[in-house]
Amino acid sequence: MGSKQIMNETDIKNSLKRIASQILERNHSNLSELALVGIKTRGEYLAKRIAHLLRKWEELELPVGSVDITLYRDDFREIVESPVAQATEIMFPVKGKHIILVDDVIFTGRTVRAAIDVIIDFGRPKTIQLAVLVDIGHREFPICPDYVGKGIQVEKGSFVEVKLREVDGEDRVTLFMPEGE
């Protein structure tokens, strides 16, 4: 399997700045009703980074939560024999909020669908918007991100690995392709 780096630390920073700016632009009339929810694990850290940018630029203190979708996925038994669930941490009322759901990569849409189910179990938000660092297509569900750091088309059998300093000690996005690509 071959690999190619598609984003470095600077690319990730710039993408998150662009996403944060687009969130401000789209939600300028309801900033007080915004909240960020990251999908564990890397989406959680990306949500915190976006919240930090918004706090720095607008002195806007947004609630930030995280969701674990392990037991909500419709295919979790196919992925792992004995799934290990982490804690979902949404310490604010979801009802009436405009939720920005954050994840590192969107592929089939199954993770996002499961995350929406988790959020709705906490209450009914006004809206749920989706921000992703990398969109690689091949959806199985009709889910489209509102904010995208980088969109790429990949062949079946390819996958994207996101590394973040909070988890992996570095910021990097790598595309892995089947041999011959």
Query: What percent of the chain has a predicted confidence (pLDDT) above 90?
Result: 82
Strand-pairing partners, residue 176, are 3, 159
Q: How far apart are CA 127 and CA 109, in angstroms?
A: 18
Q: How confident is the model at residue 86 (pLDDT cuts 50, 70, 90)?
A: low
pLDDT in tens, 165-176: 999 999 999 999
Say what the pLDDT of residue 80 is. 53
Contact 54, 96 (CB under 8 A): no
Q: What is the DSSP letter of 54?
A: H
Q: What confidence score (pLDDT) does residue 78 get?
A: 54
Q: Which of 79, 86, 84 is nearest to 65 (CA)?
A: 86
**DSSP 8-state symbol, 87:** P
pLDDT at 79 over 90: no
Write the DSSP string, 144-159.
Answer: --SEEEEE----TT-E
Domains of the chain: 10-156 (3.40.50.2020)
Residue 57, pLDDT > 70, answer: yes
Average pLDDT, integer, range 100-122: 95
Q: Evaluate if residue 181 carries a pLDDT over 50.
A: no
Return mean pLDDT, the chain.
92
Tell me the pLDDT band of 81, cut-offs 50, 70 and 90: low
Neighbour count for residue 19 (Cβ, 10 Å)? 24
Residue 87 pLDDT level (bands cut at 50, 70, 90): confident
Q: At what angle do helices 42-58 and 9-26 cross, to 10 degrees?
A: 60
Q: Are residues 94 and 123 in contact, defined by beta-carbon separation less than 8 angstroms?
A: yes
